[in-house]
């Protein structure tokens, strides 16, 4: 049987006495590692000191096409951050292995088995030459899993009152907290750019964002300025449309004043927010009516 309980870091006293892992790196390796880790959500809520311990412990892994980095069902050894390469995600269903997604030169994987002490939930296969940075299980426990206890305390109350997530079980909401990252924006910062490929989903924690669109059907016309179509504030979400429709971002999103958002990557979105998809789809169908009112056509959403 698979144990889905969160690992309780307070049960584990050995962690503090475990020696700190340091894998020496050249300046050039350190620079590449820092680049690769800049947007890793699981690292976004770490203190500076913990983050630099993570970087010290990481080690480079070079991979070839068809290498299996992780096999579903095995025990977890490492967590991986992608520096480069494309990696297919396979999940076994009724004895058949299905490709359910891929990582394209960014992101991270292999956190679940280490967080919840479960067998690997998917198989990850390199499709080309690539480079990864590994983090060993003991260091992952000592730094990331310990930090998750703090994250749960910080975000539990807020996550409990996000309307979209109401239909989930408490344990499902806590799993979202475990993998989310927090990002702060200043007034006017662009969070999402219309036309970009989508990687994340956002929930506003504090502050406000404004959603602006340029009509694609009017793209050649001079008066095709950005038009404000909506705002989102505390507890509201954005960035779901491209993930649900598998299309580029339909709008540009800017911070209005100092704004903090909780961020979930596309794999976690698909894994954990399935039960909320119907609510999102219902809300998306209302975008279309508003679009017609604004531009006289809903072609922007359809194509
Ligand atoms: P892990 O330690 O279980 C396999 O090792 C990793 O694949 C897993 O951590 C995740 O980091 C990653 N379901 C489960 N794990 C996934 C999924 C996934 N995608 C990536 N991983 N699903 C696919 C969502 C696009 C759900 C499939 C039903
Ligand atoms: P996304 O992933 O496409 C931009 O990134 C986000 O802005 C989008 O998800 C929604 O979360 C949010 N059209 C498109 N995106 C909208 C709209 C919208 N409203 C909110 N978003 N409208 C119609 C125009 C296409 C709303 C008109 C009021």
Determine which residue's CA is closest to atom 24 belonging to ligand 1: 267
ipTM above threshold 0.90:
yes
Ligand 2 mean position, distance from CA 287 (Å): 7
DSSP element (H, E) containing 68: strand 68-70
Tens digit of each residue's pLDDT (9 = 90 or more) over 270-285: 999 999 999 999 999 9
Q: What's residue 1's pLDDT?
A: 41
Ligand 1 atom 28: residue of nearest CA: 271
Helix (H) or strand (E) holding 293: helix 277-295
Tell me if 198 CB under 6 Å of ligand 2.
yes
The pLDDT of residue 4 is 52
| Closest ligand (CA of 292) | 2
Alpha-carbon dihedral sign for residues 267, 109, 10, 49: negative
Low-confidence ranges of the chain (pLDDT < 70): 1-17, 216-223, 297-303
Q: Model pTM?
A: 0.91
Amino acid 295: pLDDT: 76
DSSP for 189-240 reads: -EEE-TTSPP-EEEEEEEEEEEEEE--STTTTSTT---EEEEEEETT-EES-
Using CA positions, which residue lies closest to atom 8 of ligand 2?
239
Instruction: Report whether 213 contacts 194 (CB < 8 A).
Output: yes
């Amino acid at each position: 049987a698979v144990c889905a309980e969160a690992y309780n870091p307070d049960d584990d006293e050995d962690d503090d006495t475990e020696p700190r892992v340091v894998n020496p790196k050249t300046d050039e390796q350190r620079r590449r590692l820092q680049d690769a880790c800049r947007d890793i959500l699981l690292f976004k809520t770490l203190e500076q000191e913990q983050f630099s311990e993570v970087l010290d412990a990481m080690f480079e892994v070079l991979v070839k096409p068809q290498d299996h980095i992780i096999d579903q069902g095995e025990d977890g050894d490492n967590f991986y951050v992608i520096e480069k390469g494309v990696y297919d995600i396979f999940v076994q269903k009724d004895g058949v292995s299905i490709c359910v997604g891929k990582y394209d030169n960014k992101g991270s994987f292999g956190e679940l088995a280490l967080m919840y002490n479960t067998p690997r939930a998917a198989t990850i296969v390199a499709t080309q030459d690539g480079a990864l940075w590994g983090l060993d299980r003991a260091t992952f426990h000592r730094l990331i899993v310990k930090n998750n206890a703090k994250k749960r305390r910080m975000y539990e109350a807020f996550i409990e009152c996000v309307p979209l997530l109401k239909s989930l079980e408490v344990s499902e909401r806590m799993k979202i907290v475990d993998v989310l990252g927090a990002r702060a924006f200043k007034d006017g910062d662009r969070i999402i750019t219309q036309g970009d490929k989508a990687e994340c989903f956002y929930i506003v924690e504090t502050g406000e964002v404004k959603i602006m669109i340029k009509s694609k059907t009017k793209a050649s016309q001079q008066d095709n300025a950005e038009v404000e179509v909506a705002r989102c504030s505390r507890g509201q979400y954005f960035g779901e449309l491209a993930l649900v429709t598998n299309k580029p971002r339909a709008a540009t999103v800017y911070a209005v004043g100092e704004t903090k958002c909780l961020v979930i990557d596309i794999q976690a979105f698909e894994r954990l927010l399935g039960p909320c998809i119907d609510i999102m789809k219902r809300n998306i169908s209302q975008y279309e009516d508003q679009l017609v009112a604004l531009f006289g056509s809903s072609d922007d959403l359809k194509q």
